[in-house]
Structure 1
Amino acid sequence: MTAEMPKPQIDTSKPHPARVYDYLLGGKDNYAVDQAVGAKLPVEARAAARQNRAFMRRATAWLALSGIDQFLDIGTGIPTEPNLHQIVQEINPKARVVYTDNDPIVLRHAEALLISTPEGVTDYIQADVREPRAILEHAQGFLDFSRPIALSLIALMHFIPEDEKPYDIVGTLVEALPSGSYLVLSHAASDLYPDLVEQVVAQYKRGGITLGFRTRAGVTRFFEGMDLAEPGLVTAPHWYKDTAAPAEEESGGFDSGIYAGVARVR
């Protein structure tokens, strides 16, 4: 079940973060403009993309195993299996998932995101995180906001610079969630690999994409008023619970450059 979707209008003259990310993950749903950005990024960017994706899988599975059965994923990106709904519905077939992204190419692939289990629900909304109230209004038609919901903001908020009020955006989203909900967030760090950060920011800027990488304190601020689950705010490969350390991610001596955390809404 889903709302009628508009025909996607894809602008191939400008790079888009979701398509650059797809390129870094080895996907094929990107264009020359996206490849031009991705190809000039430091080689570590590919490792960071994989480590970030692996964090999403671990955090999502932990929440589903903990009893969370509703998920609002904003900044979904181009489908890369296993997708969030595949992870949670394998654990709980009745889980309900709402995806959101502002890239029309993701809309083109939305059918892949909407293949739910018979018992569960998946839905997709074409919207921008800068419009949090519109997202919430749509999500309320598919998720029960009287029960806990996991809000997923994976590698998204570092594309929202300070003048676009990123903390207000997240605050609006979290404020709508009932007690016992969770915020799952990963965010590129400005204070871990400063030389690499400078290269990444410059390359994205050449493509017309502004980045707002933040320090550990800056990322921690997104979780204000919530209770961070152990192990707290750490780099992506070091966020794991009830499993062995992800050894493959730790190889190569590069530690993602991405902060990751999961916090419970009071």
Structure 2
Amino acid sequence: MPKLDNAIIMAAGLGTRMRPLTNEIPKPLVKVKGKRMIETIIHALHESRIDDITVVTGYLAEKFAFLSEKYPGLKLVNNPYYQQYNNLSSLYVARHGLKNTVILDGDQLINTPQILSADFKKSGYAGSWVNQWTDEWIMHCDQSGHVLSCDRDGGKDGYRLYSVSKWTAKDSAKLGQLVEREFEAKNYDIYWDDVPMFKYSDQFNLVVHQINVKDIVEIDSLDELKQIDPGYEKVGK
């Protein structure tokens, strides 16, 4: 059974939907009920004894400097392409660190650290079952949990895809090569998830790592942040 060697946290984005809060602070460093989003991820990784952590920075990169001092084993990698290109560029600059790896977005809350357990069997994405329409990416699976298709424009009766995925070393090697291929072919506007989920889905046999809907909280906008943390109610008014 594979065991996670390391983690790559994507934290380069502009966080435009959370302005004006993100005019001076990167979205992953925003505190929710007193805790920085990215630090809920780091603490959860540490509970699984995953200390080899790479944070890919871009926007306001200097604001992340304290993390490498606070957390031994954490490395910062700068993405110089973050303003022009989509997050394919973030995995591109971190591709040589892919092993038995978990890849996560830095702007989410991990409420259940156990979902980042170092033990896993197959490559795949975290997903929670939804039976009502949502505009999130929805994975459809067979009875054994293998992903058959994904609706990127929303759907129902499937598993909502979260930005937490685990990769075996074998699949990581393929993923790194394909991300490099797409980036160097100047396909800058795609998400890195497009590579295994859509463009080269035939080269992967992904599964859903089933979680509960409350295990991960993704906060996409200032309004969503206010619903979770009323302390921000007056921001932007």
**Is TM > 0.5 for Structure 1 vs Structure 2?**
no
Higher strand share: 2
Q: TM-score range by the shorter chain?
A: 0.3 to 0.5
Which structure shows the higher helix fraction? 1
Question: Structure 2-normalised TM-score?
Answer: 0.36
Which gives a bigger RCO, structure 1 or 2 (Cα 8 Å, sep 6+)? 2
